Amino acid sequence: MNREIRNKVFDIGFRIFGIFSTFLGVILIAIFISSIVQAGFSKIDWNFLTGLPSRFADHAGILTAWTGSLWILALSAIIGIPVGVGAAIFFEEYAPKNSLTRILEINLTNLAGVPSVIYGILGLELFVRSFKMGSSLLAGACTLSLLILPIVIVATREALRAVPQSIRQASFSMGATKWQTIWHQILPASAGGIATGVILALSRAVGEAAPVIVIGALAYVPFVAESPLDDFTVLPIQIFNWVTRPDPEFIVNASAGIIVLLSITFLLNGIAVYLRYRWQKKMKW
């Protein structure tokens, strides 16, 4: 009897703790977003979105920053997705289960914990200098692809593992080759999960400032990049730059910039949720 009451108390206690934890996160984010929106929303208009950088808070726009961020996003996706998904397929479907594979796996997991600025230093030496890409969008995208690679690989492996073994066996027994099985059965079945992981990884890349500053992204770029080899800036750098200015009016611009960056992230996350939902409905075995 006594023990029963104690267990019930624990049960209720844990439930309260769980509710508290959930709301703590939600409330903090709500406070953050509402204060940012209050400070910066009035600033967002056509002129702000299509304006070039300026020393006057009134005129300063964010065009080169958000276009730079979209460039980085697209290029990182083009570079990071094939490599990341390819590596994950190798690990899950091809790699023999031996100690070499295990060492590779452990290293990969560790890569996810490396501070992002370290990737910047690597990118500076490797892409900017050795490959002579200069401080270009391409060098930035390659660096950020490395950064998100571990996340893409881990998420893709999870998605591949969720495909039932019976599907593979059925495919093989129908005489399909391994590649046919992967291409026609496993990848379509896991596409929702892969897309979710990839998009979450990309939304991380879009918010990074440290590695792109190290590879030489700029603070003042008065033109929109037209090719992957152009110089660039991104939203986080523009926001940081505005926050550190003497004129307090720029704080409003920074808040507006944060709203733009958050919108991109939310949009990406929304797409991830949608894709997962759609693919789940489509898959019928």
Which positions touch another protein (CB under 8 A)? 52-55, 78-79, 82-83, 86, 90, 94, 134-135, 138, 179, 213, 216-223, 227-231, 241, 243-248, 251
Nearer to another protein among residue 124 and residue 206 (C-beta): 124
Nearer to another protein among residue 49 and residue 229 (C-beta): 229
Nearer to another protein among residue 120 and residue 197 (C-beta): 120
Nearer to another protein among residue 23 and residue 223 (C-beta): 223
Contacts for 112-120: CB closer than 8 Å, 24+ residues apart? 112/150, 112/151, 112/154, 115/210, 116/147, 116/208, 116/210, 116/211, 117/210, 117/211, 117/214, 119/143, 119/144, 119/146, 119/147, 119/211, 120/210, 120/211, 120/212, 120/213, 120/214, 120/215
Q: Is 96 left (phi over 0), alpha (psi -120 to 50) or beta?
A: beta
Nearer to another protein among residue 17 and residue 94 (C-beta): 94
Least Cα distance to 208 among 68, 106, 79 occurs for 68
Q: How far is the CB of 285 from another protein (least distance, A)?
A: 26
CA 248 from centroid of its chain's CA atoms: 31
Rounded to whole angstroms, the Cα distance separating 64 from 221 reads 7
Q: How far is the CB of 230 from another protein (least distance, A)?
A: 8
Q: How far is the CB of 103 from another protein (least distance, A)?
A: 17
Q: How far is the CB of 180 from another protein (least distance, A)?
A: 12
Nearer to another protein among residue 55 and residue 278 (C-beta): 55
Label residues 25-37 b or e (16+ Cβ within 10 Å = b): eeeeeeeeeeebb
How many CB atoms within 10 Å of residue 252? 18
Q: How far is the CB of 99 from another protein (least distance, A)?
A: 18
Q: How far is the CB of 55 from another protein (least distance, A)?
A: 5
Q: How far is the CB of 280 from another protein (least distance, A)?
A: 26
Rounded to whole angstroms, the Cα distance separating 123 from 120 reads 5
